[in-house]
Amino acid sequence: MKTWEVTQERRQLRLKYPGMTWASLSVVSVGGKQVRSGVRPVLIMNLSTDGLHFASSLKFPVRQDYRVGFDFDLDGRRLSCSGEIVWQNIEENLYVYGVRLILNEREMEELLAAMERKLLAAAAEAKMHDTYRRMSEYETHISDVAPFLDLCR
For the entire predicted model, the pTM comes to 0.68
| CA atoms lying within 13 Å on the CB side of residue 59 | 3
How far apart CA 147 and CA 43 sit, in angstroms, is 53
Tell me how many helices (H) and strands (E) the chain has: 1, 8
Q: How many CB atoms lie within 10 A of CB 120?
A: 11
How far apart CA 18 and CA 45 sit, in angstroms, is 8
Q: What is the per-residue pLDDT across 88-126, written as a single tens digit (0 to 9) for each?
A: 999 988 999 999 999 999 998 888 888 888 777 766 565
What domain range is 81 assigned to?
A: 5-151
Asked if residue 79 lies in contact with residue 51, where contact means CB atoms within 8 angstroms, the answer is: no
Domain CATH for 39: 2.40.10.220
Predicted confidence pLDDT, tens digits, the chain (153 residues): 333 344 444 445 555 655 568 999 999 999 999 999 999 999 999 888 889 999 999 999 999 999 999 999 987 889 999 999 999 999 988 999 999 999 999 998 888 888 888 777 766 565 555 555 556 665 665 566 556 555 555
Q: What is the pLDDT of residue 121?
A: 73
Q: What is the pLDDT of residue 75?
A: 77
106: left (phi over 0), alpha (psi -120 to 50) or beta: alpha
Asked if residue 26 lies in contact with residue 40, where contact means CB atoms within 8 angstroms, the answer is: yes
How far apart CA 133 and CA 139 sit, in angstroms, is 10
Q: How far apart are the two ends of the chain, measured CA to CA in Å? A: 42
Domain tally, the chain:
1
| Nearest in space to 37 (alpha carbons), one of 86, 71, 79, 87 | 71
SS3 115: helix
Rg of the chain over CA atoms, in angstroms?
22
Residue 60 DSSP class: -
